[in-house]
Structure 1
Amino acid sequence: MRITSRRGAYRVLTVAAALALPLALVPAAAQADPAPNVTQKKLIDSITAPAVKKHLQALQTIADANGGNRAAGTSGHAASRDYVVGKLKKAGYTVTVQPFDFAYFEEKSTALMERTSPNPRVFTPTPPDGSTTGEFATMTYSGSGEVTGTLQNVDLVLPPGPTPSSSNSGCEAADFAGFTAGNIALLQRGTCDFVVKARNAQAAGAAAAIIFNEGQPGRTDTLLGNLGEPVSIPVLGTSFAVGQELASATSVVHLKTDTVSEIRTTHNVIADSKWGDPNKVVMSGAHLDSVPAGPGINDDGSGSAATLAVAEALGKVPTRNKLRFAWWSAEELGLLGSIHYVETLPAADLAKIKLYLNYDMIGSPNYAFKIYDGDDSDAEGAPAGPPGSDEIEKLFEKYFDTLRQGHNGTDFDGRSDYGPFIETGIPAGGLFTGAEGIKTAEEAALFGGTAGEPYDPCYHQACDTIVNISDKALALNTGAIATATVVYGFTSDLPGPDTRAAATTKRAATSTGADLQGRSKG
């Protein structure tokens, strides 16, 4: 997608002031069907940034009272869920709290790894909050424990050349023939899922496992791996250099992990308006869970709070189409809540969802105004969304163009909760202000801020608090969310084909796979 020019500075930070021209965005069909006794513009103008900030402060207060986070499966998420449910019921919605089980993981303190012989040395850890990357890291869903043992190499590929061929170390039980129970298995990335390697090591009697990166180009850094499901032994990931060093001699290693890894229950929150055509559902969503490392006020309190403010304003407004809002759980562990919802919804009900709008991180402090590239106009990265996604993109583009605010595109790369919807053929779109990615010089010229720095320097960290929010980005994006919801709530001309068969393809959870090096999203 092209980057539009920035034609003027925008300084007003309330949605009401920002939306001087929102009706210019509304299709003729939508303008012909205003809510009784209130214009669509007044509806949009009634949704203000202070209302969103009030919800953000509530989420911050919840995190503060619950160990500093709102992660799925914790008291902080349960309190966030209850807060949202209470607001929705008061606004007049039919609310469903949808339970599902998931694999919970938390690293409670920084892991330890040291070689005690030969040549003793302590390796540098990656802390639980991911603020820096060390020489090793605890794999997601690792077991907890303290072990001292002899390292035993398992089918490694370490030729003298700089580019080893692909490894299948630990992928087969036969790889552990002759393994000494109580030793620590030294494994290499490649071919099969990390959890296969870890479970094979566990079955062979390994007290712990260390999996190092493969060594091919792009696969040398510290392995930030995700096992996808709990295992009982400690499992660490390291860089290729550390793995090669450990493999070069018979080493004795002392390691310690401090984790919680178990099956827990969490909940999605789904709110249905009492108005509108039940066969034409306009759905919007954001994820309510944070990572365990912090309160998640930008990621994704920002999307959750803005979606809640929009829902509150429209709860008692008779729209043409049915409005549905969702607050997903366990997104941070691989879109688990939205996957569960899509996979368990009957095909006939899934076909009634005419579009899905996703809002994940809309207030990044070093923001860019990014719109999901529904038509793949940049011809790079992920392909276009399902038919109708291009129309959603154009509506958001028109919103920012009307305000003379630059914008650019972002791929449907599967990193957020639109993923399960586009895989079923549902048109989708949404907004994003950037995560751990680095702002380009071109973007700094377009949006301001600092080139060469992350869009959100507190991404997945304890500092993702109420102060980690750009008021301007939050206000403008809230206006865009309000505009899209109102437009699609009233229009008789929804994006995409009139009929669409529900796809049967089920999305596999993205938290597994040999190539998954930790889940980050946009």
Structure 2
Amino acid sequence: MKKKSIVSMLVAFYLAFGVLFSSVSAKIQSEQAFDNKIVKRLKVNNIYNHIEALSKEPRVAGTEAEWKAVQYIKRQFDSYGYESELQPFTFIEYKAPTKVSVNVNGDTVAAAPFTYTPNGDVNGELDYIGLGTPDDIKGKDLTNKIALIKRGEITFGEKVINAANAGAKAVIIFNHLSGELNGTLGNVDNRFVPTIAMTKEQGDILVEKLNSGDVLSASITIAGSVIEEKTSHNVIAKKDVTHKQKDTNQVIVIGAHYDFVPTSPGANDDASGTAVTLELARVLAKVPTDTEIHFITFGAEELGLIGSNKYVDSLTDVEIDRIVGMFQLDMVGSKDAGELVMFTVDGEKNLVTDLSAAAGVRTGTPLTYGQEGRSDHVPFYYAGIPAALFIHSPTEPWYHTPEDSLDKISKEKLLETAKIVGSAAYQIARPDTPALERAKVAPKEVDYEKMTGGLK
């Protein structure tokens, strides 16, 4: 009897397990059927051809080459039936000085200019003012003097402005640690005066002499720096809801940056992400959706995420609340890079990573996730929007070099990324799935286990 009971229990257990496994398996198969509506339509040669077209020359922000890329991207979006739009924005381009010299009591001293320092030819007596904080400068008259300041506590720009407000004609900032100091004043500011960087060792010698009562006269020459306003663009295509009666009033963003650094064609960084975004826009244009999808290619990413920051800053609170997820595609095609990884700014999973991980399992490419900023998902994260960067890691040896060319591109990796992001985005956007709970406009709580097929 006891033996019979154990057998019965085992049979019951395996039957129950089989039902559960069958249920999960059926769920995955059901999702795969929906995935195929995207996956089967993807054409990797389209993606490859976009990269070829975009990587003929460096697409530096604010240049004619970047504008050609803008026009190409817009033509593609429009050919898919979108009424794409350009979002122009300006930024400041800074070119470093061609001449920098510093002399103290007739002796030449090695120094480097700060980014955004104005040009100037200045002579004056050195005056050491510590860290250059308001307390350090309080009561000081620096008229016609050159302020000597130690790095630390406040920003370089604040130090310069504090000294200039006290009358200083120029500023020398020296490091608080061993090694060279290469810094930036942060941005263009008409309150700045010519500013030079020195090593800790050089600064300590000057401070010691001043503290001993020596009078030190310095001359500073900075020439050839150029500061000018340039224009770049975000290119935006919006897929409207096709099932108006089931409109979730929510938005998904799929994005990439199309600009690149000088001297490099930027085939992988980030013509690859832009090309995948274009192909996903083509495929998703043809399927029914109850959620808006915005495809955005950002300008001036390489200069500090300028385009994506401008885009997010332009959104109202209501528009931000509507966005349930942002997929950023950056460097997704190099055959010499590692595996596809999802990165979030805080290193935590979110709706985008979870749905993409589930899509990865279904499409045959399991994904991992980690922590990384440095791409256009960052402004979305700080706006409270679930966002993730998709990139192959570790990056290829050709990163930011002239060797980032078309011959280094893997069609397999391009297609892998397109399948995962396309499947995950369509899972959110297709009419048979409910609005997601992230946004305030979600009508009801969602069983997230069901959305991902029980996969983590």
The match for 1:152 is 126
Match of 1:349 in 2: 319
SS of the aligned residue for 1:433 comes to strand
Corresponding position: 1:395 with 2:365:
no
Cα offset, 1:88, TM superposition: 0.5
* Corresponding residue of 1:369: 339
Cα separation, 1, equivalents of 2:234 and 2:133: 37
Question: Does the aligned pair in 2 maintain the 1:188–1:213 contact within 8 Å?
Answer: yes
More helix by percentage: 2
Question: How far does the alpha carbon of each residue in 1:287-320 deviate from its partner, in whole angstroms, 9 at most, with x for none?
Answer: 2233456554433222222212221233233334
Work out the CA distance in 1 between the residues paired with 2:265 and 2:125.
38
5+ long unaligned stretches in structure 2 = 1-24, 210-215, 443-456
- Please give the alpha-carbon distance, in whole angstroms, between the structure 1 residues aligned to 2:361 and 2:76: 31
- Match runs of 1:246-261 below 5 Å: 247=207, 250=216, 252=218, 254-256=220-222, 258-261=224-227
The superposition leaves residues 84-125 of structure 1 with CA deviations (integer Å, 9 ceiling, x where unpaired) of: 1111111111312223343x12326766455576553656xx
Equivalent of residue 148 in structure 2, options 183, 186, 191? 186
Pairing 1:488-507 to 2, within 5 Å after superposition: 488-490=428-430, 492-493=432-433, 497=437, 499-500=439-440
What residue number does 1:308 align with? 278
Over 3 Å counting, the alpha-carbon distance change for 1:320 and 1:457 in structure 2 is same
- Residues 176-325 of structure 1 correspond to what in structure 2 (within 5 A)? 177-181=140-144, 184-204=146-166, 206-215=168-177, 222-225=181-184, 227-231=186-190, 233-244=193-204, 247=207, 250=216, 252=218, 254-256=220-222, 258-276=224-242, 277=247, 279-292=249-262, 294-325=264-295
CA shift for structure 1 position 423: 2.8
SS at match of 1:47: coil
Determine the structure 1 residue equivalent to 2:423.
Answer: 483
C-alpha separation between the residues in 2 aligned to 1:209 and 1:366?
46
> Cα–Cα, structure 1 residues 490 and 313, in superposed 2: closer, same or farther, change >3 Å?
same
Question: One-letter code of the match for 2:137?
Answer: A
Q: 2:94 aligned with 1:106, yes or no?
A: yes
Q: What TM-score does the superposition give when structure 2 sets the normalisation length?
A: 0.73
CA contact (8 A) 1:367 1:456 kept: yes
**Which residue does 1:120 correspond to in 2?**
108
8 Å Cα contact 2:122-2:220 kept in structure 1: yes
SS of the residue corresponding to residue 279 of structure 1 reads: coil
**For residue 46 of structure 2, what is the amino acid of its counterpart?**
A
Tell me if the contact between 2:347 and 2:369 (Cα under 8 Å) persists in the aligned partners: no
Change in Cα spacing, 1:57 to 1:348, as seen in structure 2 (3 Å) is same
Deviation per residue, 1:449-477 (Å, 9 max, x gap) = xxxxxx34454455545456555544433
1:51-130 to 2 correspondence within 5 Å? 51-61=46-56, 64=57, 68-71=58-61, 73-102=62-91, 104-107=92-95, 112-113=100-101, 115=103, 119-120=107-108, 122=110
Whichever residue aligns with residue 68 of structure 2, its letter is: A
Aligned to 1:165: none
Q: What are the superposed Cα offsets for residues 168-189 of structure 1, whole Å, 9 maximum, x if unpaired? A: 32556936923252x5543333
**Per-residue displacement from partner, 1:265-306 (whole Å, max 9, x unpaired)?**
432221101444461322111122334565544332222222
CA contact (8 A) 2:180 2:198 kept: yes
Deviation readout 1:471-501 (Å, 9 max, x if unpaired): 5544433443333334433264469526437
- Structure having greater relative contact order (Cα 8 Å, sep ≥ 6): 1
Q: CA separation in 1, counterparts of 2:379 and 2:419?
A: 26
Matched, 1:382 2:338: no
Shift of 1:326: 0.9
Aligned partners of 2:272, 2:202: CA distance in 1, in Å?
Answer: 39
Q: Residues 332 and 206 (structure 1 numbering): CA distance in 2 closer, same or farther, change over 3 Å?
A: farther
Which deviates the most, 336-345 or 487-496?
487-496
1: CA distance between counterparts of 2:139 and 2:93?
28
Deviations 1:379-405 (A, max 9, x none): xx93525x52452352355267x24x7
Count of paired positions: 407
Worse-superposed segment, 359-368 or 277-286: 359-368
SS in 1 for 2:176: coil
Measured at CA, do residues 179 and 226 of structure 1 come closer, stay the same or move farther in structure 2, by a change above 3 Å?
closer
Deviations 1:149-177 (A, max 9, x none): 45735423xxxxxxxxxxx3255693692
Distance 1:304 1:28, change over 3 A: same
State how far apart, in whole Å, the 2-side matches of 1:185 and 1:289 are: 39
Contact 1:27 1:491 in 2 (8 A): no
- CA-to-aligned-CA distance 1:35-86 (integer Å, 9 cap, x gap): xxxxx4263244344322322222223xx3xxx4421x33333222222111
Give aligned-pair identity as a percent. Answer: 27
Cα distance in structure 1, aligned partners of 2:27 and 2:101: 59
Letter of the 1:107 counterpart:
K
Q: Do 2:97 and 2:226's aligned partners in 1 also have CA atoms closer than 8 Å?
A: no
Relative to structure 1, the CA distance from residue 368 to residue 153 in structure 2 (aligned partners, 3 Å threshold; closer, same or farther) is farther
2:387 pairs, out of 396, 420, 428, with: 428
Distance across 1 between alignment mates of 2:196 and 2:334: 31
Q: Check whether the contact 1:195–1:229 (CA below 8 A) recurs between aligned residues.
A: no
SS of residue matched to 1:177: coil
How far, CA to CA, are the matches of 1:171 and 1:345 in structure 2?
Answer: 37
Separation in structure 2 between the aligned mates of residue 25 and residue 285 of structure 1, nearest angstrom: 32
In 1: Cα distance, 2:441 partner to 2:361 partner = 30
Distance in 2 between residues matched to 1:461 and 1:139, nearest whole Å: 25
Counterpart for residue 43 of structure 1: 38
- Aligned-partner SS, 1:225: coil
Structure 1 unaligned regions, length at least 5? 1-23, 35-39, 124-135, 157-167, 375-380, 440-454, 503-522
Q: CA deviation at 1:262?
A: 3.8
Query: 1:187-234: per-residue Cα shift (whole Å, max 9, x none)?
Result: 33322232222333444555544433332xxx8553343513445644
Q: For 1:92 and 1:341, how far apart are their aligned partners in 2?
A: 23
With over 3 angstroms needed to count, the CA separation of the structure-2 counterparts of 1:432 and 1:498, relative to structure 1, is closer
Q: Report if the CA contact (8 A) 1:151-1:186 is conserved.
A: no
Do the aligned residues in 1 keep the contact of 2:249 with 2:441 (CA within 8 Å)?
Answer: no
> Structure 2: which amino acid aligns with 1:106?
Y
* Structure 1 counterpart of 2:93, one-letter code: F
2:369 matched residue in structure 1: 409
Give me the whole-angstrom Cα distance separating, in 2, the residues matched to 1:247 and 1:325: 56
